[in-house]
Amino acid sequence: MGVLKIRAEYEQSAAQAGQKKKKSIIFILLKVVLGFLILCLLGMALAFLLIFHGPLTGLKELYVTTAMTTYSHQYLATWFVSEEEINGIMEKNKVSEPKVNTDEKAVNVLKPIIEEKPALELVEVSGKGFQGYLLKVGNPQQVRLAATDQLGDRGLKVSEFVENNHAVAGINAGGFADPGGMSFGGTPTGILITEGKIIHKDNWETYNLIGITKNDVLVVGRYTLEQIEELGIRDAVSFGPALIVNSQPMITYGDGGWGIAPRTAIGQTHDGTILLLVIDGRQLGSLGATLKDVQDILIEHGAVNGANLDGGSSSTLVYEGEVKNKPSSPYGPREVPTAFIVLPEPRLVE
């Protein structure tokens, strides 16, 4: 009996010691987790002070411009920054309006030059916090604008535009009405021209035009309807802002005022090459680019004219039958009203 009692007391003591050890481990883990949370909170507080009340004015402006151009998440800026300061930041960073129109003579699309260039060249681009693709199209006659056949109702995915037109590549183009972010991309805004015909036109005095003339020259900027008709535009959408006009960058201060996001853009070099740019955003591998980033990439690759196209969750590049980039929408590539497509062969427009 004595041995059994001693054994029972030993087992009870061991169990109590085990429970104490277990509680001690749990207590240590709780302290570690609590300490980590405190450090995170302190880090967030420090970051908040540095961004909003410290010397990091560049980060503050980037934060504000990014939030204010999301429309549905502007509260992320208004919670911490006064309306007056927000207005000042947006005004300071906005893109300048072009003071002159595109000079068509600045672009040379003579056949001998076209024949010396590669037909298509896909280039990976990257920068601080973003990745994307730039497609160079040597012959501008191969670049056309495709529009949904259900205007006012439903758009198409870029891959559908490419497939339906037997094209080899395509990017999303103009903007569209998107109340609540729930539309089917069928209602374009501004003006829409395909094969020399106006197929949609809002009643505006001027249009932010991104178009290609019948002489295969990319023109960008703000134009009246009369000017558009005089230019002999074969394909065009409305969007912007213009980023490069006659070799002059429009963003000379700040980031362009639209923060970081997925981007789509188009440009043209002096020898006629069309540049089609798509940059991913709103994901871990690529947060997004500013308008200044887009402008810099186009200039780096020789653009003499260039403009921002519809971005965000619409940004999509299709090349050789596949979506090359990673659209930010959780549902995959969006339906859009228009796409700039690349045909396998040039096609003339009367």
Q: Is there a single domain that holds both residue 321 and residue 254?
A: yes
For 7-48, give the secondary structure using H, E and C: HHHHHHHHHHHHHHHHHHHHHHHHHHHHHHHHHHHHHHHHHH
Query: Reading across the β-sheet that carries 248-249, which strands appear in turn?
Result: 120-127, 130-137, 274-279, 263-269, 303-309, 242-245, 248-249
Rounded CA-CA distance 134/123 in Å is 5
Question: pTM, whole model, 2 decimals?
Answer: 0.81
Q: Is there a single domain that holds both residue 79 and residue 138?
A: no
Q: Is there a single domain that holds both residue 234 and residue 276?
A: yes
Q: Is there a single domain that holds both residue 63 and residue 125?
A: no
Q: Is there a single domain that holds both residue 135 and residue 236?
A: yes
> Which of 295, 258, 209 shows the shortest CA–CA distance to 71?
258
Task: At 133, list the tokens.
Answer: 């693709």
Q: Is there a single domain that holds both residue 183 and residue 81?
A: no
Considering 72, 93, 114, which residue would you say is the last residue of a domain?
Answer: 93
336 domain-assigned = yes
User: Quick check: 302 and 97 in contact, CB under 8 A?
Assistant: no
pLDDT of residue 210: 98
The domain total for the chain is 2
Q: Is there a single domain that holds both residue 206 and residue 307?
A: yes
pLDDT of residue 277: 98
pLDDT in tens, 177-217: 987 777 789 999 999 999 999 999 999 999 999 999 999 99
Q: Is there a single domain that holds both residue 87 and residue 120?
A: no
pLDDT of residue 35: 62
pLDDT in tens, 149-158: 999 999 999 9
20 domain-assigned = no
Q: Which domain holds residue 234?
A: 104-342
99 domain-assigned = no
- Residues of the chain with pLDDT below 70 are 1-58, 60, 68-73, 75-77, 348-350
pLDDT of residue 71: 58
